[in-house]
Structure 1
Amino acid sequence: MNVKRVLAPAIALVTVVSLAACSNDEEPGHDMASMSSTTEAGEQESPAEGDWFNQQDVMFAQMMVPHHEQAIEMSDVIVAKEGVDPQIIDLANQIKDAQGPEIEQLTTWLEEWGSPVSESDSTETMDHGSMDGMMSEEDMQALQDAQGAEAGRLFLEQMIVHHQGAIEMAQTEVDDGKNEDAVAMAQQIVDTQQAEISTMEELLAAM
């Protein structure tokens, strides 16, 4: 018997099996690398969105923080004046008590979402003016300069417009937001500030 003739096919078979095994070992690694790259790319596509929030939630929080801050500033101005109707003073304090904690919560959400509020966010919102009810520098100065009953009347007129802008922004969040807590806050803003508008309109009518 020729030993070489018997061994040659066997060696060839072993070689083929070995090459196939090496090829199979390499492919899963290649596939995993591809999957990892694809996953990373997908994660980077929407840095301002997650499973529990979307871009609308971020925009709502970024715009509502400076909006609330201005409402509190307006309230501080009127509370510090003399000769203003006590009911208006009570309303101003009510606005401060409601919106202060909301600012803290909105800020916390933005930090959790990786979208902190910056000065540019506030400035951009201020520049929109009538779009969201924000008072201009001239409006704020007029409130500062007014005294007594005139200050109370101006505060009510300005805050009604301010609240209407907040309600519009909040309703957009209710309609398009994804985060359940943010949507719930937005609905609360709609309900609370609409009720406050009714109160302010009654106070204006009685002046």
Structure 2
Amino acid sequence: MKFQLKMINPASLALAVLSVALLQPLAFAQMQMKPGSEAMPDGKASTSSMQGGAMDMKGMDMKGMMKDNNDKMSSMKMTGNTDVDFAMMMRIHHLGAIDMAQAELRDGKDPQMTKMAKAIIAAQKKEIAQFDKFLAKNGQSVDKMSK
């Protein structure tokens, strides 16, 4: 019995891996939702999660943050250059991780989770700087990308 392996397009494989990596945290966040903190169907946070009626990142729950982050990624115009597209998407993904970690620092109580949030912020900022450098080198303006 002979097995024949087909070659997989590296760009297709990279996009598939990136898709799984980006959607997995959303599925995990949905499993971790506490009652009363659900986002509204239009993506806005429920009034129970708003602070003073303000609809900014500080007032959104974790699920709302993930939806906002995924909306930014899915609306991003792709260049067709896998390396550039990866860097742009991961930059947005990392900014979302920082937003969530900052929410943990603001509202979290568990010392282990706040310690992890601090480590995540430091690591993600370092990687964002690397993405920014790569994108600038490849003619992509970071200023044009939404934060």
- Indicate the structure whose relative CO is greater, using CA pairs within 8 Å and at least 6 residues apart: 1
TM-score, normalising length: structure 1: 0.35
Q: Give the number of the structure whose residues are more often helix, by fraction.
A: 1
Structure 1 or 2, whichever has the larger Rg, is 1
State TM-score, norm by structure 2: 0.46
